[in-house]
Amino acid sequence: MISPELYLEGISYAEQNFLDDEANHLRVDKDLLREMFNLDGKKILDFGCGMGGMSLWYASQWNCTVHGFDIDRHHIHIAKDLQKKHKVDNVKFEVRNILTDPVEDKYDFIVLNDVAEHIQYPILEEIFCSLRNVLAEGGRIFISYPPWQSPYASHVTHILGLPWCQFLPQGLLLKWIERNNRTIVGEEESDLVQAYNGLNRLTHKRLMQTIRKSGLVPVFRKSHSFLNNFKPLEKVNLRFFPFSYLITKEFLVLKAPENAGR
């Protein structure tokens, strides 16, 4: 069972993701989704939906149907409670592992928001194959994640206070995390040590290798950097060294190979 303290923490975090369009870690995601896509009438799969904040946001932004899948029961428990609180009817949350419990529905739009970096590569490869099978004709898959060279890729920077700490000697870093360890909302990853050890050190190159088996094809990529906050550079993708270490998030849109256009 999740403790009352962690439950309230989870509700607060997910509610911020849902309601606050200026939340730093999701502002670019939301702006990009609104700019690129009209999801009215679409059937959306929020894969690895976590505590449901973004699922509820999709459902409130467009006249669409949203399914939120996650393997973590604590996350789905909070997502359902937040759905009830805000009376959002066009969302369905479910604890589901699509590799052991395959999906028969077809989806026009599939989202992996801050998910891919948490899944080990052999499993992630199979997941993309499964998602390819449930992608409707003309559908798109939208992926966002902090690349491993990102200042925040360790997922513990907010606790340790040190950007790029993932490049410290691993023995030293793990001891530091252990000294500052704390429980977190998840059932699958219940503390900071587990959260850090569960990361797959995802990069764009590694992601492209992982999706190859599925046959999915990239049609769009954006690398958001600190430097994009300056008006003259807001549309520039600075992916080369040393500017690549200032990238905070990568965005990738995939399609099935027979689909055309965006």
In this structure, the answer to whether residues 127 and 232 fall within a common structural domain is yes
The answer to whether residue 146 is domain-embedded is yes
In this structure, the answer to whether residues 25 and 145 fall within a common structural domain is yes
In this structure, the answer to whether residues 172 and 57 fall within a common structural domain is no
Domain extent for 140: 4-151+200-255
Per-residue pLDDT tens digits for 167-224? 999 999 999 999 999 999 999 999 999 999 999 999 999 999 999 999 999 999 999 9
Q: What is the pLDDT of residue 259?
A: 45
The answer to whether residue 260 is domain-embedded is no
Confidence of residue 235 (pLDDT cuts 50, 70, 90): confident
The runs of H, that is alpha helices, within the chain are 4-19, 27-36, 53-61, 73-86, 121-133, 157-160, 170-179, 192-197, 204-211
Q: Pick the closest to residue 127 from 73, 74, 78, 71 (CA basis).
A: 71
The answer to whether residue 111 is domain-embedded is yes
Per-residue pLDDT tens digits for 125-175? 999 999 999 999 999 999 999 999 999 999 999 999 999 999 999 999 999
The answer to whether residue 262 is domain-embedded is no
In this structure, the answer to whether residues 133 and 10 fall within a common structural domain is yes
The answer to whether residue 103 is domain-embedded is yes
The answer to whether residue 180 is domain-embedded is yes
Strand-by-strand arrangement of the 217-225 sheet: 91-95, 65-70, 43-47, 107-113, 135-145, 247-255, 217-225
In this structure, the answer to whether residues 171 and 222 fall within a common structural domain is no
d(CA 35, CA 104): 30
Domains in the chain, number: 2
Number of residues that this document lists for the chain: 262
In this structure, the answer to whether residues 101 and 225 fall within a common structural domain is yes
In this structure, the answer to whether residues 170 and 83 fall within a common structural domain is no
Boundary-marking domain end, from 141, 172, 193: 193
In this structure, the answer to whether residues 97 and 179 fall within a common structural domain is no
The answer to whether residue 164 is domain-embedded is yes
Residue corresponding to tokens 């996350």: 75
The answer to whether residue 261 is domain-embedded is no
d(CA 30, CA 199): 24
In this structure, the answer to whether residues 32 and 91 fall within a common structural domain is yes
In this structure, the answer to whether residues 77 and 138 fall within a common structural domain is yes
In this structure, the answer to whether residues 146 and 178 fall within a common structural domain is no
In this structure, the answer to whether residues 185 and 59 fall within a common structural domain is no
- Dihedral sign of CA atoms 46, 47, 49, 54 in order: negative
Per-residue pLDDT tens digits for 22-77? 877 899 999 999 999 999 999 999 999 999 999 999 999 999 999 999 999 999 99
**Domain CATH for 123:** 3.40.50.150
d(CA 28, CA 26): 6
